[in-house]
């Protein structure tokens, strides 16, 4: 099946780390992505990880992938108020065209 | 500046009327997509097109129609047959839509459609 699940809401204090979690069900995923959506706007690609990697770091962002548990996480270090947004994980499935399945999104609220 | 534009940002229609949402890209991307976003449900794929003059139904195509006469343009028509059309609509494009490639999608700013 193709199901990508995320918790709906996360609240953190400015300066703390945020960890947003995602679980997926399709073991044939090739790439997994994290997108950010600010209020009333489209989605912006933050980072991605190929399915044969365990970790990827990009400045304040760290992506961890546990293929055995089909678990993906996004850690944002030193969270700022500008990080407040909805974060979507997404997986690309193999076969046919580039089908991308998005999670339900996690709304991150950063408290000053 | 390359990117994807959607217009208008807000659209209001009466029930029973068809409405067309515009999506234009100047990224020279072959593939284009339409998604619908409802609160707490993530994005759901309506239609996609991998090449000009060709398009395929996504997961929730009923009540919608599209055309792809030009590479740059992929308009979406919300017909009166769509039972619950009020939503935020997002258009996206990608280089090729080829399976297995790292082919991230670029999104437009969205159109919020309200039907009363």
| pLDDT at residue A77 is higher than 70 | yes
**Rg for chain A (alpha carbons), in Å?**
14
Chain A partners of B45 at a C-beta cutoff of 8 Å? 99
**Residue position matching structure tokens 């678990």:** A71
Mean pLDDT of B55-59: 94
Verify whether the Cβ–Cβ distance B42 to A45 is below 8 Å. Answer: no
Specify which residues B89 forms β-bridges with: B36, B111
Quote the pLDDT of residue B99. Answer: 60
Do the Cβ atoms of B107 and A102 come closer than 8 Å?
no
Across the A/B interface, how many CB contacts are shorter than 8 Å? 64
Percent of chain B with pLDDT over 90: 79
């Amino acid at each position: 099946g193709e199901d990508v699940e995320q918790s709906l809401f996360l609240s953190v204090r400015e300066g703390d780390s945020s960890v947003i979690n995602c679980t997926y069900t399709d073991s044939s995923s090739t790439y997994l992505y994290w997108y950010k959506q600010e209020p009333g706007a489209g989605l912006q690609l933050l980072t991605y990880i190929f399915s044969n990697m365990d970790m990827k770091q990009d400045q304040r962002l760290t992506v961890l992938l546990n293929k055995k548990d089909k678990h993906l996480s996004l850690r944002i270090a030193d969270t700022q108020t500008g990080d407040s947004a909805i974060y979507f994980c997404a997986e690309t499935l193999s076969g046919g065209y580039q089908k991308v399945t998005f999670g339900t999104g996690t709304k991150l609220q950063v408290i000053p | 500046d390359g990117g994807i534009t959607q217009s208008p940002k807000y659209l209001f229609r009466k029930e029973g009327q068809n409405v067309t949402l515009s999506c234009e890209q100047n990224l020279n991307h072959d593939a284009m997509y339409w998604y619908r976003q409802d609160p707490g449900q993530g994005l759901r794929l309506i239609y996609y097109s991998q090449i000009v003059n060709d398009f395929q139904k996504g997961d929730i195509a009923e009540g919608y129609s599209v055309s792809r006469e030009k590479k740059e343009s992929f308009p979406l028509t919300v017909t009166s047959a769509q039972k619950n059309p009020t939503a935020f609509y997002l258009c996206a494009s990608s280089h090729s839509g080829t399976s297995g490639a790292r082919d991230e999608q670029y999104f437009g700013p969205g159109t919020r459609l309200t039907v009363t």
